[in-house]
Chain A
């Protein structure tokens, strides 16, 4: 609950943000115990803004995104606490029918692997028309025209021909453009981009990100960008939230976070970006160790076993998320405003 209390400054803002997630808790019920995949995550994002969520695999980034549109695996995944408000509506109180009409119209989602985001056995055009008709009250011919213009818009050459292609006949970059084109058609208020460029070639990545930015400019879209690529965050995001083992460890404006990162985990993440000018003789820096078992978290700082600064308290208490500087939140016992940690300049490993 402490996260919630510390976030009061954000709650008190007079206007309601387009997306407001408070103390979200998503658990997975496995045969060997309950995995706390998302454990008390809060954030607010306004229309037209981009929030980046970074963290390594298994940190709960994607589960957070899937929780927002309530696309968790039935039976095993469950949102057990917190609230999600989007556009003034309580997402957790919505019926299945309301959710279905919300997904794909106001909220669009872009997944990591574009090759598996389209149904392999239906033609691209068919899938686009199906989606448009599901949300807009227009005829199939009109939907087809809309789809073709959207494909043109995202830079697909010969869109009429591409409408008749099967997904396997397109490259990964083209598939991702098709998916963005689908989003273009419904002019969503909110786009969740779950590692949208991870599966793509570097040359295509930039173009896909540009497209997202263009779309955002045109329709004042909110983008939730999930990534583990800190370069992408720098390019795209207004704010960044660093997640680790289901919890927010640091949250700040992008510039602030890059200029003055405060959590040891964030330091590790930033250090592990390979640099061409690096004098470390070709060795890539890493954060030693592995993330904790999500079934066993909740008794101490989740990062304590990998943290070179860890002290006794880190192994005993869960650090609360504290606003150390204006709009800069950190969850670390050693960085709570009273105590300040000095970042070691030497190699982490």
Chain B
């Protein structure tokens, strides 16, 4: 088990190198010059050249690349051009806000989605099943930005029930929670619908399996058959989707945070892109990649726990 985990951790390194390289190349391909953006439209060519020297942008691209790689290896993600602060500090200051809505949104999605999926599987082809599955289809099909705007229109503008945007007064927990309702709901719809559908199909498969029939034939109580045996057998696909949805939630947060002016990573990366803040873009993307990989690693470890037949060590993969 330990060997497996170690091997997975080692696999992360080349993946991250590829991510860093691609982000580096892609950010340089965005039209526009950071030095010019920082100095504004009135800046003279000389000033821009000076700024480029200051930012290190005058060096050949491969030199910039290796400088960046070495810095990253030492834990230095560079300094943001716009904020004039270390990228790591900026991420550290924003990440709690993003986690606040993504984790809450994901938790809501997981609990409700899995429960709906189990209900639908147990009542296959019932009216409830059809209603939930249609809703789930609507849920996965609605673009986040459109739904966010609709939510704001109905609940904030028309009915005045909830605040339009912002994070609220940090000292007033009720106020913060009121501000969280719409962004969290907005973030949770797609994962919730996905969980509901995947849980339904996975549960259906496990409920109709021979081993579940054998459990019933042994007189195990229905509650235990469904919630213990069938659910544990149905978990692997749900865990896979959970892993993907965690990553998806960070992407979703970029849109959601922009709509609700939530001061998290999402808003920061949008600003970084518009301002050609190379270091910040690279830093945030790298950070997302690391999160994604850690989540995947956890998913693999959870697999080992829930499914004893999984053996990553055997066979050439």
Query: A131 vs B216: C-alpha distance in the bound complex, in angstroms?
Result: 10
Cβ of B45 under 8 Å from chain A: no
B28 interface contact, C-beta 8 A: no
Q: Which of B217, B232, B233 contacts A104 (CB 8 A)?
A: B217
* CB of A257 within 8 Å of the partner chain: no
Contact size class for B? 20 to 34
Given A116-B209, A168-B309, the answer on whether A75 and B125 have CB atoms closer than 8 Å is: yes
Q: Does B307 contact A (CB under 8 A)?
A: yes
From residue B182, how far is it (CB to closest CB) to chain A in Å? 39
User: Is the Cβ of B217 less than 8 Å from the Cβ of A109?
Assistant: yes
The answer to the question of B308 belonging to the interface, with a C-beta cut-off of 8 Å to chain A, is yes
Chain A hits for B215, CB < 8 A? 119
A69–B220 CB distance below 8 A? no
Number of A interface residues at 8 Å Cβ cutoff, please give it. Answer: 30
Is B25 among interface residues, defined by CB-CB distance under 8 A?
no
Q: For the complex, is B224 an interface residue (Cβ under 8 Å from A)?
A: yes
Please measure, in the bound complex, the distance between the C-alpha atom of A102 and the C-alpha atom of B220, giving whole angstroms.
Answer: 10
Contact between A111 and B217, CB atoms less than 8 A apart: yes
Give the residues from 98 to 131 in chain A that come closer than 8 angstroms, CB to CB, to chain B.
100-105, 108-109, 111, 113, 116-122, 130-131
User: When the two chains form their complex, are residues B220 and A104 in contact, meaning their CB atoms are under 8 A apart?
Assistant: yes
Question: Given known contacts A75-B125, A168-B309, is B232 in contact with A103 (CB within 8 Å)?
Answer: no
- In the complex, whether A341 has a CB less than 8 A from a CB of chain B is no
| List of A residues within 8 angstroms of B229 by Cβ | 119, 121-122
Provide the bound-state CA to CA distance between A327 and B208, in Å. 40
A111–B209 CA distance with the chains assembled, in angstroms = 13
Contact status of A168 and B211, CB under 8 A, knowing A130-B224, A134-B219, A134-B220? no
A182/B233 contact (C-beta < 8 A), A71-B213, A113-B210, A168-B308 known: no
Contact: A130 with B308, CB < 8 Å? no
A135 touches B219 (CB 8 A): yes
- Most A Cβ at <10 Å: residue of B210, B214, B307, B309: B214
* Pair A119/B233 contact, Cβ less than 8 Å: yes
Q: Per a CB cutoff under 8 Å, which of B208, B214, B308 touches A121?
A: B308
CA distance A104 to B214 in the complex (A): 10
In the complex, chain B residues whose CB is within 8 Å of the CB of A104: 217-220
Whose C-beta in chain A lies nearest to the C-beta of B211? A119
Minimum C-beta distance from B184 to chain A (A): 33
A89 CB → nearest B CB, Å? 15
Tell whether, in the assembled complex, residue A111 and residue B218 are in contact, meaning their CB atoms are under 8 Å apart.
Answer: no
B54 at the interface (CB under 8 A from A): no
* A139 CB within 8 Å of chain B: no
Cα A30 to Cα B210 with chains together (Å): 20
A100 touches B211 (CB 8 A): no
* Interface check A234, CB cutoff 8 A: no
Q: Known interface pairs A71-B213, A131-B218. Does A166 touch B308 (Cβ–Cβ under 8 Å)?
A: yes
Binary interface profile of B, 225-241, with partner A (CB < 8 Å = 1, else 0)?
A: 00001001100000000
Which residue, A69, A96, A120, has most C-beta atoms of chain B within 10 A?
A: A120
Q: Check A122 against B210 for contact (C-beta < 8 Å).
A: no
- Determine whether B222 belongs to the interface, using a CB cutoff of 8 Å to chain A: yes
Known contacts being A96-B222, A100-B222, is A116 close to B214, with CB within 8 Å? yes
Given contacts A116-B209, A116-B211, A130-B224, contact A121 B306 (CB under 8 A): yes
> Judging by beta carbons under 8 Å apart, are A103 and B218 in contact?
yes
| A111 in contact with B214 (CB, 8 Å) | yes
Contacts of A130 in B (CB 8 A): 220, 224
User: Residue on B with the closest CB to A118?
Assistant: B211
| Chain B residues in 8 Å Cβ range of A103 | 216-219
- Is B317 on the interface with A (CB-CB < 8 A)? no
Contact of A117 among B208, B210, B219, B224 (CB under 8 A): B210
How many angstroms between the C-alpha atoms of A179 and B217 in the bound complex?
Answer: 11
Partner of B309, one of A71, A116, A135, A166: A166
Question: Does residue B3 face the partner (Cβ distance < 8 Å to A)?
Answer: no
Interface centre among A69, A100, A135, by most chain B C-beta atoms within 10 angstroms, is A100
Task: Tell me the minimal C-beta distance from B74 to chain A in angstroms.
Answer: 44
Contact B218 A120 (CB under 8 A): no
Decide: A182 and B216 in contact? CB cutoff 8 A.
Answer: no
Contacts of B308 in A (CB 8 A): 120-121, 166, 168
CB-CB under 8 A from A75, the residues of chain B are: 124-125
Which chain A residue lies CB-closest to B208? A73
The answer to whether A100 and B221 touch (CB under 8 A), given A117-B211, A121-B308, is yes
Residues on the A chain within 8 Å of B216, using CB: 71, 100, 103
Given contacts A109-B217, A130-B220, A130-B224, 13 further A-B contacts (CB under 8 A): A69-B217, A71-B217, A96-B222, A100-B216, A103-B216, A103-B217, A118-B211, A119-B212, A119-B215, A119-B233, A120-B211, A121-B307, A182-B218
Q: Can you list 22 A-B contacts (CB < 8 A)?
A: A96-B222, A100-B216, A100-B219, A100-B220, A103-B216, A103-B218, A108-B218, A117-B210, A117-B211, A118-B214, A119-B215, A120-B233, A120-B309, A121-B232, A121-B233, A121-B309, A122-B232, A131-B219, A131-B220, A134-B218, A134-B221, A135-B219
Interface residues of B (CB under 8 A from A): 124-125, 208-222, 224, 229, 232-233, 306-309
Smallest CB-CB A-B distances: 6 pairs: A104-B219, A116-B210, A103-B219, A104-B218, A109-B217, A117-B214
